[in-house]
């Protein structure tokens, strides 16, 4: 059913039954609505005929309510709102006005529930007319049939547990060992390297990580590290971000060199690297 369905069709309004009340006719409904309006606020609450009108309305529109999965009294309350409007009691056929308005409201309620939007938006926004109802992922048996983005490659579905973690742990241990061999406190440098690795996983690039971590004033204070030593450690581990160091060991940084397969023994023999680590030590030990 759409909004152009005849408002007075039998499909929308159920059988009215025997004509036992005057309000079942358009003229009788108009007369009752005018009387209730002239009686002033609160007239609907204590009027016996008004109560009978609402019971009749619930029966009249129960077929329409059933079609849209609503309670008959819910639809009757929609009709009540329409009956309060001046245009309804002044219309040539008040029942036709009420039926048409209730049809539109039921349709808007159903569309709003399906699209997960407000009823007013479903009623007044023409551009959503062609949209289908929202579908929850759990209601679909095969998400890959819905969109290829949900497909998962078989090779990456179940990676070997601990394989990547083991490699990274070994590399981080080598980094800590190199700093310790140059005189750094083992616990201090372990905390520093662990934090750098943790933050690196959240940032898009090594250069960005150096910049973000360098500007973080809280971490070096919590670690008990002077800003100078903290900045130097970042550049040693992650690489110097300056363009002139691009592609060089200084620019690559200790972490990338180890992950690229460079042997730890070769790094230990790198005098430039060892001098940089020793110079960054916040508590240097005197040479023997």
pLDDT digits (tens, 9 = 90+) for 128-138: 444 444 445 45
In the predicted structure, residue 201 carries a pLDDT above the cut 50:
yes
Let me know whether 30 and 123 are in one domain. Answer: yes
Identify whether 120 is part of a domain.
yes
How many Å apart are CA 219 and CA 215, to the nearest integer?
Answer: 10
Question: What contacts 59, CB < 8 A, 6 or more positions away?
Answer: 14, 16, 17, 72
In the predicted structure, residue 168 carries a pLDDT above the cut 90:
no
Both structure tokens of 235: 């550049």
Taking the model in full, what pTM does it have?
0.42
Identify whether 26 is part of a domain.
yes
Identify whether 106 is part of a domain.
yes
Q: What's residue 120's pLDDT?
A: 52
Identify whether 253 is part of a domain.
yes
Let me know whether 244 and 174 are in one domain. Answer: yes
Question: What contacts 144, CB < 8 A, 6 or more positions away?
Answer: 150, 151
In the predicted structure, residue 83 carries a pLDDT above the cut 90:
yes
Identify whether 39 is part of a domain.
yes
Number of domains comprising the chain: 2
Helix (H, G, I), strand (E, B) or coil at 203: coil
Let me know whether 190 and 274 are in one domain. Answer: yes
Residue 99's alpha-carbon distances to 76, 83, 209, in angstroms, are 10, 10, 65
Both structure tokens of 233: 């450690």
Let me know whether 206 and 132 are in one domain. Answer: no
The residue to which tokens 């070994």 are assigned: 170
Both structure tokens of 259: 């992950």
Q: What's residue 153's pLDDT?
A: 53
Q: Which residues of 146-160 are buried (b: 16+ CB within 10 A; e: fewer)?
A: eeeeeeeeeeeeeee
How many Å apart are CA 41 and CA 30, to the nearest integer?
Answer: 18
Q: What's residue 69's pLDDT?
A: 83
Range of the domain at 78: 22-137
The answer to whether residues 192 and 233 touch, using CB atoms and an 8 Å cutoff, is yes
> What does the pLDDT look like over 58-73, one tens digit per residue?
999 989 888 888 888 9
Let me know whether 196 and 112 are in one domain. Answer: no
**Segment among 31-35, 144-148, 212-216, 234-238 with least mean pLDDT:** 144-148
- Helix segments in 61-93, DSSP class H: 62-67, 72-83, 86-89
Identify whether 275 is part of a domain.
yes
In the predicted structure, residue 149 carries a pLDDT above the cut 80:
no
Q: What's residue 11's pLDDT?
A: 40
How many Å apart are CA 83 and CA 256, to the nearest integer?
Answer: 76
Let me know whether 173 and 120 are in one domain. Answer: no
Identify whether 9 is part of a domain.
no
Identify whether 285 is part of a domain.
no
**Average confidence score pLDDT of the chain:** 75
Q: Determine what percent of the chain is predicted with pLDDT higher than 90.
A: 19
Q: What's residue 165's pLDDT?
A: 59
pLDDT (mean) for 212-217: 81
In the predicted structure, residue 228 carries a pLDDT above the cut 50:
yes
**Segment among 126-130, 144-148, 270-274 with least mean pLDDT:** 126-130
CA 106 to chain CA mean position, Å = 29
Between 171 and 118, residue with greater pLDDT: 171
Q: Determine what percent of the chain is predicted with pLDDT higher than 70.
A: 71
Question: What contacts 88, CB < 8 A, 6 or more positions away?
Answer: 33, 82, 94, 97, 98
């Amino acid at each position: 059913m759409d909004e152009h369905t005849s408002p007075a069709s039998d499909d929308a309004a159920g059988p009215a039954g025997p004509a036992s009340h005057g309000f079942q006719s358009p003229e009788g409904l108009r007369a009752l609505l005018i009387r209730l309006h002239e009686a002033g606020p609160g007239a609907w609450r204590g009027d016996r005929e008004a109560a009978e009108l609402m019971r009749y309305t619930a029966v009249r529109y129960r077929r329409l309510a059933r079609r849209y999965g609503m309670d008959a009294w819910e639809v009757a309350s929609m009709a009540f709102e329409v009956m309060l409007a001046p245009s309804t009691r002044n219309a040539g056929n008040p029942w036709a006005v009420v039926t048409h308005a209730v049809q539109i409201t039921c349709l808007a309620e159903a569309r709003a529930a399906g699209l997960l939007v407000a009823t007013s938006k479903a009623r007044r926004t023409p551009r959503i007319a062609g949209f289908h109802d929202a579908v929850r992922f759990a209601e679909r048996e095969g998400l890959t049939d819905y969109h290829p983005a949900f497909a998962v490659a078989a090779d990456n579905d179940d990676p070997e547990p601990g394989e990547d973690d083991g490699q990274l742990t070994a590399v981080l241990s080598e980094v800590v060992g190199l700093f310790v061999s140059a005189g750094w406190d083992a616990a201090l440098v372990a905390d520093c390297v662990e934090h750098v690795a943790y933050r690196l996983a959240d940032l898009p690039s090594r250069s960005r990580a150096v910049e973000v971590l360098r500007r973080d004033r809280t971490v070096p204070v919590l670690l008990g590290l002077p800003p100078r030593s903290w900045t130097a450690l970042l550049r040693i581990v992650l690489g110097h971000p300056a363009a002139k160091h691009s592609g060089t060991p200084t620019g690559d940084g200790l972490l990338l060199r180890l992950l690229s397969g460079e042997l730890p023994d070769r790094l230990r023999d790198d005098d430039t690297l060892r001098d940089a680590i020793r110079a960054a030590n916040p508590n240097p030990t005197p040479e023997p």
